[in-house]
Structure 1
């Protein structure tokens, strides 16, 4: 019996040792895999809650507490002018809302440049920068780029007319000249919304310019015709001085003026005297 007991004990101890060995290998493999996963795992992205709109909003719509909600954004990719608290977005209470001045899509972050101040109307004054003025220019299907203009676009302004001379008389040739470059449109007719229907031909466009430019455009509009040329969205070039008349357009050179020099004949004064039967003219200095 004792021999059988000893054999059973030895077998039990062997099985127990084998189980411990297998368990140790499993734990070590698990810990090694966990360490590798932790080593390859990307660092945690820090986020911050910011207010976004819950629906697409157009220019002029009122922004109310029902139109906003908090969403987590990556902290390193936050744009300037965000709102993180309701006190920042509605500092005067929920009854005093803001208005949208730039269209926003659903779940787009609300920025300070896209909404008015609390209680402020979404008029043109909110779209004018410091020192700028709004000026309206009359346009038609030709001068208004066939209805392709939108608020926010930039245009060059060309003037066509006849230049007056020193005496006030009009010149014989019309001249087209670039008078303003890269000025920003802030409204088309009575709409400052950039999502206006395509193809509509406007009667007037409103531009944001400096006071000196207002005077130049007013004078140009009164004395000739204005044409607009649309500037590309990615075009940062500055147009040079451009002036074209009929002669330069057709390649006709102006005739050279012949300069006739008048040569004054030298005046000779003489006196006549008689020498015997002969009359002789003797030159003398002229008194006049």
Structure 2
């Protein structure tokens, strides 16, 4: 801009038409660049899509979706800086171009430092298009979060399994039965169907089974201890290794939570906070569940 003003002054003092022509061209480009950025920036929408797996201490990626509401002119290149609620976590990326009235999906790579919610609170957009003579920087509020799973350790102790839970089918004595079958070694003789056996060469027994639910599900108690974060990492590692977590529950700041799959278990551990064991006293005293405490998982 200052160069253009100086050229105007020189062309006025020297009455040089060539210098005046060049300064006019630069002035027109400068004005065009200013209005180009001034009116196109507000027409950009940015959304962050949380990935299915993003672990602390591990390289990961997530997607940003940029949509331009401008119908004619494309926008780019665009430098984007994300500001989070953690002072030491910021990241940048450059999007080559955003076509007019279209949506662009751009992948950003990062390595989160800790588990929990990583909140993106602000986005800085900076561009110097179309001619690079005028740069504009604009801040947008972006209230979105990324869920960071706990760090997965390379090597941990094996999960100490409790006594096998009672599951499956157990024979019952009743007047009703599901089907009949030949007697096999070990069958309860009280289950013999004497009327059918009288017409057969071998004894016939009643097969009367009833499903039994697990009677020994387990609870991870996130109790207060100096190595609490290590315990969370150990539990997350066991979950990823799929060591029998289909019957586990977690007791943390939100009370007892029973996940239905691996991702839910990791999500609960990602936001788990230590609690006083006395908060779970009544629950644990009235249950047959085996309890594993965070304080038991030492480094």
- Scaled to the shorter chain, the TM-score interval is under 0.3
Using structure 2 for the length normalisation, give the TM-score.
Answer: 0.22
Q: Given the two structures, how large is their TM-score scaled by the length of structure 1?
A: 0.23
